[in-house]
């Protein structure tokens, strides 16, 4: 599987760039001009390659990988995580979800609960929501004033720089869906009884604030995308295409680590296993 150049990836946000999410595509076909069935077949190939690379990643035990997912409600974080990472060995991968902070977490700085979840050597950690809630949701809902949340951009950039300096590879994905697509997905949760449990009436409050969320996410992504922790804005209206994009970037990132299986201090050809 050929290595793609992530530095020129069309959905990578470069440091210093301005970002208008309202003008950014939520549907695309440029990188994978395929039909849905063809896309799913390609995804099977990607899954097998991810499995191979994670086995090598875990065996070598030298690298750390942090994958951050952010999205509007129904944006597909859970589905992407299930599909892209489903063949990874559970020994070497885990998901950390960040919901509304509890009293113990609120008694510390906003990065305290995040730092406790970062990966160790040979480990892949996936953030389902993350520290970016602390510069997006708190801003949109006016939980904290600008004098508080605006300082957190620098704290986040410095925090991620520290992680990178200590050996963590960081990928950040914003799964970008349209407001119309969100409406369809919310309606499906109401129409299909087995999905009723996923519907939260409070999601409609956030939906009413859509323009403010787009502004806040665009600002946060533009101000915190860096060479050591890049953001990718993924057109996510089509789930299979979204999965392909995330998987392709993940594969290229892992291949770029140039990993090797650890050497052994014995000659396998000289080992005889008795009956």
Question: What pLDDT shows up at residue 1?
Answer: 54
Question: What pLDDT shows up at residue 214?
Answer: 97
Distance separating alpha carbons of residues 191 and 178, to the nearest angstrom? 20
Question: Does residue 241 lie in a domain region?
Answer: yes
Question: pLDDT for 99-158, tens place per residue?
Answer: 999 999 999 999 999 999 999 999 999 999 999 999 999 999 999 999 999 999 999 999
Q: Rounded mean pLDDT of 50-55?
A: 97
Q: Identify the H or E element spanning 43.
A: helix 36-60
Question: pLDDT for 168-197, tens place per residue?
Answer: 999 999 999 999 999 999 999 999 999 999
Distance separating alpha carbons of residues 68 and 226, to the nearest angstrom? 14
**Quick check: 41 pLDDT over 90?**
yes
Question: Does residue 59 lie in a domain region?
Answer: yes
**Quick check: 52 pLDDT over 80?**
yes
At 32, is the secondary structure helix, strand, or coil? coil
Question: Does residue 211 lie in a domain region?
Answer: yes
Q: Which CATH number fits the domain that encloses residue 150?
A: 3.40.50.300
Question: Does residue 8 lie in a domain region?
Answer: no
- CA-to-CA dists, residue 103 to 100, 109, 110, 156, 249, angstroms: 10, 12, 12, 22, 37
Angle between helices 77-84 and 239-255 (to 10 degrees): 50
Question: Does residue 117 lie in a domain region?
Answer: yes
CB atoms within 10 A of CB 35: 9
Question: Does residue 141 lie in a domain region?
Answer: yes
Distance separating alpha carbons of residues 47 and 34, to the nearest angstrom? 17
Distance separating alpha carbons of residues 109 and 134, to the nearest angstrom? 11
**Quick check: 3 pLDDT over 90?**
no
Question: What pLDDT shows up at residue 2?
Answer: 54
> Which residue segment(s) compose the domain that 56 sits in?
18-257
Question: Does residue 181 lie in a domain region?
Answer: yes
Question: What pLDDT shows up at residue 266?
Answer: 87
From its phi and psi, is residue 41 left (phi > 0), alpha (psi between -120 and 50) or beta? alpha
Considering the entire predicted model, what is its pTM? 0.95
**Quick check: 24 pLDDT over 70?**
yes
Q: How confident is the model at residue 4 (pLDDT cuts 50, 70, 90)?
A: confident
Number of domains in the chain: 1
What's the mean per-residue pLDDT of the chain? 95
- CA-to-CA dists, residue 184 to 120, 180, 188, angstroms: 39, 7, 6
Q: How confident is the model at residue 203 (pLDDT cuts 50, 70, 90)?
A: confident
What are the counts of helices (DSSP H) followed by strands (DSSP E) for the chain?
11, 6
Question: Does residue 216 lie in a domain region?
Answer: yes
């Amino acid at each position: 599987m050929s290595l793609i150049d992530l530095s020129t990836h069309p959905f990578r946000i470069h440091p210093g760039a301005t970002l208008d999410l309202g003008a950014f595509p939520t549907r695309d076909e440029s990188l994978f001009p395929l039909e849905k069935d063809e896309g799913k077949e390609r995804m099977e190939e990607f899954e097998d390659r991810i499995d191979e690379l994670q086995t090598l990643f875990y065996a070598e035990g030298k690298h750390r990988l942090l994958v951050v997912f952010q999205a509007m409600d129904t944006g597909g974080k859970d589905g992407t995580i299930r599909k892209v990472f489903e063949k990874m060995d559970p020994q070497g991968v885990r998901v950390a979800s960040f919901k509304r902070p509890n009293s113990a977490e609120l008694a510390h700085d906003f990065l305290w609960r995040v730092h406790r979840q970062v990966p160790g050597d040979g480990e892949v950690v996936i953030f389902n929501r993350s520290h970016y809630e602390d510069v997006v949701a708190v801003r949109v809902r006016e939980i904290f004033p600008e004098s508080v949340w605006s300082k957190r951009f620098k704290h986040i950039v410095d925090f991620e720089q520290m992680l990178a300096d200590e050996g963590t590879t960081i990928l950040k994905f914003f799964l970008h869906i349209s407001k119309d697509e969100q409406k369809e997905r919310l309606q499906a949760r109401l129409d299909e009884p087995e999905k009723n449990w996923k519907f939260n009436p409070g999601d409609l409050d956030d939906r009413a604030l859509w323009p403010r969320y787009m502004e806040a996410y665009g600002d946060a992504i533009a101000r915190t995308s860096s060479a050591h922790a890049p953001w990718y804005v993924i057109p996510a209206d089509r789930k299979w295409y979204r999965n392909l994009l995330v998987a392709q970037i993940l594969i290229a990132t892992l291949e770029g680590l140039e990993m090797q299986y650890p050497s052994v201090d014995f000659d396998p050809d000289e080992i005889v296993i008795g009956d």
